[in-house]
Structure formats: C-alpha cells, structure tokens
Structure 1
Amino acid sequence: MSKNVVCFGEVLWDLLPTGEKIGGAPLNVALRLNSLKVDSTIISKVGNDQYGEKLVEFLRENGQSHIIQEDKNCETGVVNVDVDTNGNASYDIRFPAAWDFIEPTQVLKKKVSDADYFIYGSLVNRNEVSRKTLFELLEAANYKVLDVNLRKPHYDMATLVDLMSYADFIKLNRDELEEVCNYLKGDSATSVTDMLKLVSEHTQTDHICVTLGACGVTLFYDGKFYHNTGFLVKVKDTVGAGDSFLAGYISQLIQGKRPNLALDFACALAGLVASKAGANSIVSQEEINDLLWRG
C-alpha cells in the first residue's frame, strides 16, 4: 500500500519581479511530492476573491489533492518577493490572510489521522486560529515533519520550540538553527554538529536536517551525521528550493532509501529548482539522475 502525505499551512501568491506565482511552503512541498508520484494533500484556506479562485483552479488542473476552506472576511494570502543579484529571496508577507484562519473540522482530523506523514510549517502559527487548529491536528498525526520557516516578525521562539518537540523530523537552515540554539542558551554549541545535538537533546527528536546554502546540507539521524556538499548549478532564484529539498527527502524516505542516498537525491532536486525560475518549476527524473551522476 502506497504512503500518503498531508501538508498543512499557508497557500498564497508570490509577487515576484518576474510576475505572479502560486506559492507557500506547504503547498510547494505538496506540489513537488505530487510531481514525484507521492500521494499528497494540501490543507489551507483562501479568500472569496479572484486570487483564491485562481489558486483552487490551479490545484484542480494540476491534479493536486486539497482541502481548501474559504474565508468570507479575509483575502487570499499575498507575499511581495524581492530577489537580489545572487538569486536570494526576501519576503514581505501580508497580514492577516485567509490562511491565518484555518478552522478545525472532523474532515481535517480524519484526513490527518489517516495519513502516513504530516508536514507542517512554523509560519502558519502566527495567528491564534490556525495555530490552535495545528496543535489539534498534531494530536491526530502519525509521523510529524516540521519545516521551520522563520520570517520576522511572524513567529515567537516559545511556540517554535513547542512545535519542534512534537516533530519526528525537523528541517531548518543554518540561521534558524543558530537562532534556536541561542534561545535554548546553547552558547557552547558553536559547530553545526554541536548545535544539532543540542536541539536533538532538547526536543527529543533524533532526525534533524540543516541546509547550509552553498555549503550543502548536514543531516543528524539516529545518532549519526551525514553531509552533502551540494551540486554546482547556476542559481536563478532560491524560491522554493528548500521546499523541494524537503519533498525530495521525504519521497526517498517513503521508498525506504538510506539517509545518505535520500540526502543526495534531495540536494540534486533542490539545486535544479534553484537553477530555474519560481518554486514549482518542472524538474524531470532524467535531470536529477544526470546531476547525481555528474556529482
């Protein structure tokens, strides 16, 4: 029986210099999983507006399973994205948005309890309504994956650490790892490996991955460390690269791949996404295989 994944959180429109693109980290992960032939469902909320209609239509056209609530009072989420000359993105996330008000329902709880994996982000916790819904769903979830996305001023560290303690697997970047360790008073933890050990001990989570930008990725799994130095690509923009990394890694876990091989696949996929425009660019299995072969 094939495994299935539920992703919970923000769905929105990224207003990029090159135009409007559908986005939101949980949706990006779900779409990438779908492209990798993994049964995935996105749970979120849109407004009763044109952006909301277009987003739901996009999901239908792309065969993306979804449970999308509609908010009568709040607009569909929008993010202004700036991309610098190195392809790095910065975000201005409008508040409030419809995805801040996801309501708990029996349908959502049943969907989550039936799923093998539940992927949730930190950004959706910025408002009490969606935050309360998430914590209810976490109680029903099986294998829980936290995708840390710290976007100032849309988070507080106490809630984040609480979310990390629920997780079976945590993904975050180097800056986020340092911020978490500073909050945990881990002044003596200066190396990535020491910081990962600190987070693992504090959260009782033995499966943590930190992305290191151009320096690759380090994975802590079952007391062992794995590293991938990344792949040489010409970066167009980094929007969605981390989301594709997570989707790629989870897809390999589902297939029972060893951690080092799962890491290699995820890094290759993320590199290819960074070499193209937008979060949901098309990446073929042939492109991934070629990059893995070239190393």
Structure 2
Amino acid sequence: NHLRTIGGSGQGAGQFLQPVGLDLDHRGMLYVADSGNNRVQVVDSEGNFVSEYGVRGWRTGEFDNPTDVAINFQRTELLYVADTDNHRIQYCNLVDRIFYIMAGSRLGRDDEDHDMDAEIEFDLPGGVSVGRNGEVCVVDTGNHRFVLFNPDGIRMLVRGSFGGARQQFRDPTDLVADPHGNIYIVDSGNHRIKKYDFSGNLVQMWGTEGETPGQFREPRHIDIDRWGYLYVTDRGNQRVQVFTKDGETVMTFGDESLVEPVGIAIFKNDMVFVSDVAANDIKIFQIVYRQ
C-alpha cells in the first residue's frame, strides 16, 4: 500500500540527489544518505526538513558520496555514516554532532580525531549496520568482504573475497544484523542474500539472478522489521521482496512509480521507507499483511 512520496530532485532542504541508505531513530525521524549532495539529511515522515550533517570534502565531518547510515541505540545515540568515496566510516554523537573516523582512510585526519581502528583499509565501503550489542558491521564493497567491529571500534572479524563461490562476494552492498546474532549480507553482484553468524560462519544463502519471487536483479539494501521479516530492495526488478529469516518468500511489493529502489528502513508501526535513487525521492508504504 503506497501511502505517499516525499522529497524530490534538488539541493535544498528536504530535496535529494541520489538518496541511498536510510535509517530511523526512535522518534521516527528518517536519516537519509543523500549521496549526490554529499550530506546526511534528516526529515520527518511527512518529508519536512529537520536537520543535516556534512558537506562535500575529505576532512572529518565532511563526506564524498555517502551511501549508508546507521543509528546505534545501545549507547548514547550514535550516527554512523559510510563515507564511501573517502573509503571510511565516520560516526558522531547525535547530541554534540562532532564526527570522528571509526575506521578507514587516514586522509586528512588529525591523530586526536582517530581513536578507533586505523589499521583496516576500506575500498568504497557501501553499507553499515549496528548489531544487538552495539557491534558495527560494514560491507567493504570494493574489497568484496564484510568487517565486524566491537562497540569500541576494534576489528573482530573479516570475511570474504571476490568471486561467486559460497564464501565469496561480488560487490556486496548492504547488511543488517538481527536480534539473534545473525548478519544478513546483500551479495549484489551474485544476486543473493547470505546469512552469517557473528563468529563468521556461513549459515545459509538464497537467491539467483531472475525475476520470479526469490530471485533478484541487483539487490541493493536490506532491513528487518519487528516481526523478524527481511526486506530487500530488488533494484533491477523495481520491487521490494520480503522473506522469513530462513529465506522463504513472504511477499513482494512495489508501485508503478518505483524506478530504482535502493535504500530501505522500517519503522515500528510497519511503515516502510524506500529510497528511489533515480527519482530522487523516498516512497513510503504501509504493510498490512500482519498475522
């Protein structure tokens, strides 16, 4: 059920250029990786402008093509940003809004601004998510792998390499952690979803290239709702697919106006926000199939 569309093409408040990753805070404010405008924009569910972070650049607090955002509720609310073309993850406290580099490129940093894991080098990190205990999960798209950090930013785990085999990835684009200690990764170039545990063991995977339910064409982002269902934006098929945690298809939905669905976020009232990178807007759907 398509409720409404917010945003539109532009550089102004409440407008977007190539919006990608999305996340919601506890109040229902929507954080948008407004990649073409090199900023993170915050809007309410009606599309009214609330706040923004960042401008184009390489200094701390500046972004170059940011493609994902994630909010950590476990501690003081933290905002994580996949600062993709700067090859790093930045984060800030939502109260003081001062950014720090969590991991990635040292370009343009002062030592005191870099108090987490400087050793990891990213290549176009495209997705970031927060685990149940505050772990930070990153898809390192250009290196075809994912990296798991503890809440203090210390690297715990790295998995993946380039290819089509079970343990390999081809341009992974996003990931999400569930409350039970699993991580679901969008292996976009291989048109599949992969489920890992937090020890780095591959538990399950599903999907091939195609257009029938359970198949994908360039899946991009993933989120999980309060019931444990997984929502995947199936960009090339212009739809969103919904799965159980074991990969069984529950439903698919879309709208004739949905051109290139990429980012996705689900509020606790089952409102689903989908960023349309081609239309430069965000479509809002209400899911009504609940048991």
TM-score (normalised: structure 1): 0.38
> Going by fraction, where is helix more abundant, 1 or 2?
1
> Going by fraction, where is strand more abundant, 1 or 2?
2
TM-score (normalised: structure 2): 0.38
